[in-house]
Amino acid sequence: MATLQKIRNRGPLLVIIVGLALFAFIAGDVMNSIQSAANESRQQVGEVYGKSISVHEFQDLVDEYAEVVKFTTGNNALNDAQLTQLRDQVWNNYVNNKLIAHEAEKLGLTVTDAEVQAVITEGTSPVLMQTPFRNEQTGRFDANVLKKFLTDYESMKANSSQMPAEYMEYYDNLYKFWMFIEKTLRQESLAQKYQTLLAKSMMGNKVANQAAFNERTQESDVLMAALPYSTVNDNDVKVEESDLKAKYEELKEQFKQTAESRDIKFIAVQVKASAADKAALDKEMAETAKALAAGGDIAKIVRESQSAIPYSPIPVSKNIFPADIASQLDTIAVGQMRAPYFNAGDNTMNIIKMINKVSAPDSIQLRQIQVAGADMEAVRKTADSIMTALRNGAAFDSIAKKYNQTGEKTWITSRNYEGATLDADNLKFIRTITNMPAHTTEKIEFAQGCIIAQVTDRRAMIDKYDVAVVKCPVEFSKETYAKAYNDFSHFVASNPTQKDIETHALKSGYNLQERKDLFSNEHYVGGVTNTREALRWIFNEDTEIGQVSPLYECGDNDQMLVVILTGIHEKGYRTQEAMKEYLTQEVIKDKKAAMLLEKLAGAKSVADVMKVKGAVSDTIKRITFATPAFVMKTGASEPMLSAVASKTAEGTFAGPFKGNAGVYTVQVMRKNPSAQKFDAKEEERRQESTHMRASGRFINELYEKADVVDNRYLFF
């Protein structure tokens, strides 16, 4: 009872303690949830219609497309510039597909499997022409070739343990490639359906088509007289704040932007080789030239020179070399060497030594059987058996099928192997098939296997070159970079404000540049590569106008950058103040037009206009309503002049009216009836095509409505 009484006495305290513990437990969950949400938010690449895509999801799409590009081009790796371009393509495709899918869902538009199959069967889509499933005779996509591949692939998967690993890898990659193509066809078909629906909704009637025909084909010859705006001094025009406000409201829709942009000033310093650096390279190149002239291990000499172009142990075509090298190959005799010389185009020192020239096929058609076994003795025994069967008249493809291979004919071109790093086995294979005459079969033995290769055709005999090329860039040394860095960092430290930098940059030998409207999806600041950190700083919400960035090392480790944020233009309408300069010019143009219109109010002919000081005149022929006339005397395109001329009767004077570069009048001298005859069906087709192109602009409207957020600059 005493214990119970103690608990009762301390009841309020226990409630508080339990309450605090419970609050701590709940608060902990809440904080963890908030932290988790914040972390998740930081991993979002972007948003479309409020639905986000994480960096991992986006990277999966990039990786998928990268594999397609590598498969189709034969490249094993993509450089930074290619990856940047690829990410842009993936992002644009992702956003466009989301926009269209959103609208299609509301309209009930879908693409069925049967429709995709119909596109494949028809085989005319440009996407299909990018695939290897083509008819050998026509070079066009062939659905039957695709069907055969899919059937063979299923069969090979069922017997994958018996198939050479290289074969399975190739077929797996080709299957993934086809899955990507099929997905793309489905997306394109949906987009085409939506675009066609929009285009059809804009189709006119026979009257509208007749009017469009007349606007395009009926021509006018006119005598034009104008008073250019330049005849009025800007100082004679008074611009009021109310004028700017009215013009802003009139043109406001032109000032709408779908993403935030920022204005910057920046100094980009590129480090260049010093005189001492150039002298050191000259000495090294002279020693390399001496070694090449003496002969010896050419591959070793080129490798040790650190040439940007590795030596190829097999003759190659000239198109794998840079243009400055390729252009000289036919002018250098075998055994001749071009001594070290400087090429300004790529800032390199070069040596060329021609070892040999041969004539070889650019394309080789062959089929092959890969021979595997428990050991090399078993491999040789099987290979010899196959060779014997072939010599005795056995069909190549029949033997291939016996070993679970297709034995199909494939083409190998120079671009498949030239410029690539070849191991000993691949080098032996290329050398052998290149030297094999057509319709011959050889056994090619490797370290751990064997291939029976049969060359069935050789085409496009071209010159190939066994040539040693030493191409070394004129680069700066560590000492040169250190000096440039120290000098620039000292300048930045000594000039911490925008005003300081603007005052002292030029005196210190630095060029302060300006960039208006930089968007975060542009990747590079001031055209300098690898400036992602600078871009993040520029678009950071905490970066204030007038603030100076840290010094960034960027480019290809050869540039330095410092940035000043000078302006922020948020998503939506640009402010009147931001557009003041443009608005002022438009108001001045309007007021000049009013003054000049008043001057010409009593003009009844071109002759009357030409009496006014500053007037210009010219004859303009073949004006149509559909095409803006270009006036040489004012240097401007003038849609209004085309419209007035087209609607004015022959022999009649019209004007004055306002144009882009002045106030105009016209005397219509001649109306030229069209030689074409109106064809209702043809005009309908023409208008449909025009509307299809016009409906293609719908994506901009959808983009704006979808409230697209692009945060890629935070990750890539």
Per-residue pLDDT at 376: 86
- Predicted pLDDT at 276: 95
pLDDT tens digits for 415-432? Answer: 888 877 778 888 888 889
Characterize 613-628 residue by residue with b for buried, 16 or more Cβ atoms within 10 angstroms of its Cβ, and e for exposed.
eebbeeebeebbbeeb
Cα Rg for the chain, rounded, in angstroms? 36
Distance (Å, whole) CA 363 – CA 426? 17
Cα separation of the two ends of the chain: 71
Residue 206 has pLDDT above 80, yes or no: no
Closest CA to 623 of 570, 687, 690, 670: 670
- The answer to whether residue 37 scores a pLDDT higher than 60 is no
Instruction: Give the model's pLDDT for residue 38.
Output: 43
- Give the pLDDT of residue 195: 86
pLDDT(672) > 80: yes
For residues 79-90, one letter each, b for 16 or more C-beta atoms within 10 angstroms of the residue's C-beta and e for the rest, the string is eeeeeeebbeeb
Residue 9: phi, psi to the nearest 5?
A: -65, -35
Of residues 481 and 18, which shows the higher confidence score? 481
Which has the minimum average pLDDT: 79-83, 588-592, 666-670? 79-83
**For the chain, how many helices (H) and strands (E)?**
23, 20
Secondary structure (3-state) at 313 = coil
Exposed e or buried b for every residue in 480-502, given b needs 16+ CB within 10 A?
A: bbeebeeebeebbeebeebeebe
Do 693 and 27 meet the contact criterion of CB atoms below 8 Å apart?
Answer: no
Among 176-180, 430-434, 486-490, 695-699, which stretch is predicted with the lowest mean pLDDT?
695-699
Hey, which bits of 237-335 come out as E strands? 256-257, 261-270
E strands within 322-448?
337-343, 348-371, 410-413, 440-446
Q: What is the pLDDT of residues 113-146, one digit of tens each?
A: 999 999 999 999 999 988 989 887 888 999 999 9
Residue 691: per-residue pLDDT: 65
Q: If pLDDT is split at 50, 70 and 90, which confidence band does 696 have?
A: low
Residue 692 has a pLDDT of 64
Could you write out the DSSP letters of every residue in 553-585?
Answer: EETTTTEEEEEEEEEEE-SEEPPTTTTHHHHHH
- Whether residue 501 contacts residue 495, with contact meaning beta carbons closer than 8 Å, is answered with yes
Give yes or no for residue 18 having a pLDDT over 60.
Answer: no
pLDDT digits (tens, 9 = 90+) for 365-401: 998 888 888 788 888 888 888 899 888 888 888 888 8
Lowest mean pLDDT segment, chosen from 136-150, 173-187, 645-659: 136-150
pLDDT above 60 (res 41): no
Average of per-residue pLDDT across 408-414: 86
Look at residue 6 and tell me whether its pLDDT is greater than 90.
Answer: no
- Residue 406's pLDDT is 81
Q: Residue 40: what pLDDT?
A: 53
Q: Give the phi and the psi of residue 145 in degrees, each rounded to 5.
A: -65, -40
- pLDDT at res. 150: 93
The 3-class SS string of 649-689 reads CCCCEEEEEECCCEEEEEEEEEEECCCCCCCHHHHHHHHHH
d(CA 654, CA 358): 74
Least confident residue range of 4-13, 196-205, 608-617: 4-13
* pLDDT(24) > 80: no
In degrees rounded to 5, what are phi and psi of residue 529?
-75, 165
Confidence label for 19 from pLDDT (cuts 50, 70 and 90)? very low
> Is residue 557 packed enough to be buried (19+ CB in 10 Å), middle (13-18) or exposed (0-12)?
exposed
DSSP H or E stretch at residue 18: helix 11-42
How confident is residue 266, by pLDDT bands cut at 50, 70 and 90? very high
457-480 tens-digit pLDDT = 998 888 999 999 999 999 999 999
How high is the mean pLDDT of the chain? Answer: 88
Summarised one tens digit per residue, pLDDT across range 545-578 is 999 999 999 999 999 999 999 999 999 999 999 8
- Please give the C-alpha separations between residue 680 and each of 169, 199, 211, 590, in angstroms, as whole numbers: 56, 18, 11, 42
Beta strand pairing status for 662-672 and 219-228?
A: antiparallel
What percentage of the chain reaches a pLDDT higher than 90? Answer: 61
Q: Is residue 237 within 8 Å of 591, Cβ to Cβ?
A: yes
pLDDT above 80: residue 646: yes
DSSP code of 624? B
**pLDDT category, 613, cuts 50, 70, 90?**
very high
The pLDDT value recorded for residue 207 is 79
Mean pLDDT, rounded, for 395-412: 86
Cα 581 to chain centroid distance, Å, stands at 33
Q: What's the CATH fold of domain 277-473? A: Chitinase A; domain 3 (3.10.50)
Cα separation, 568 vs 539, whole angstroms: 9
Count the Cβ atoms, other than its own, within 10 Å of residue 50.
8
- Residue 171, pLDDT > 80, answer yes
pLDDT above 60: residue 82:
yes
pLDDT at residue 139, as a whole number: 84
Helix axes 165-201, 80-107, angle to 10 degrees: 50
* Cross-strand pairs, 670: 221
Closest CA to 207 of 682, 680, 715: 680
Tell me the CB-side half-sphere exposure of residue 356, using CA atoms within 13 A.
10
Mean pLDDT of the 305-332 span: 90
pLDDT at 101: 95
Q: What pLDDT does 412 receive?
A: 86
3-state helix, strand, coil in the chain (%, to 5): 50, 25, 25
Give the model confidence (pLDDT) of 623-637 as tens digits. Answer: 999 888 999 999 999
656 cis-preceded (ω within 30 degrees of 0) = yes
Q: What residues contact 387, with CB distance under 8 A and at least 6 apart?
A: 441, 443, 452
What is the pLDDT at residue 8?
A: 42
The two three-digit tokens of residue 643, written as one number: 């419209």
User: Does residue 30 carry a pLDDT above 90?
Assistant: no
pLDDT of residue 16: 43
Q: Is 710 left (phi over 0), alpha (psi -120 to 50) or beta?
A: beta
Q: What is the pLDDT of residue 711?
A: 94
If you write DSSP's letter for every residue of 136-205 in order, what string do you get? TTT-SB-HHHHHHHHHHHHHHHHTGGGS-HHHHHHHHHHHHHHHHHHHHHHHHHHHHHHHHHHHHHT---
pLDDT tens readout for residues 86-107: 999 999 999 999 999 999 999 9
CB 228 within 8 A of CB 634: yes
Residue-wise pLDDT tens digits, 54-65: 999 999 999 999
Which pLDDT does position 467 carry in this prediction?
Answer: 93
Q: How far from chain centre, in Å, is Cα 5? A: 80
With 90 as the cut, is the pLDDT of residue 44 above it? yes
Q: What angle do CA 584, 587, 590 make, to 5 degrees?
A: 150
Q: Kindly list the distances between the CA atom of residue 618 and the CA atoms of 330, 627, 636, in Å, as whole numbers in the listed order.
A: 55, 18, 13
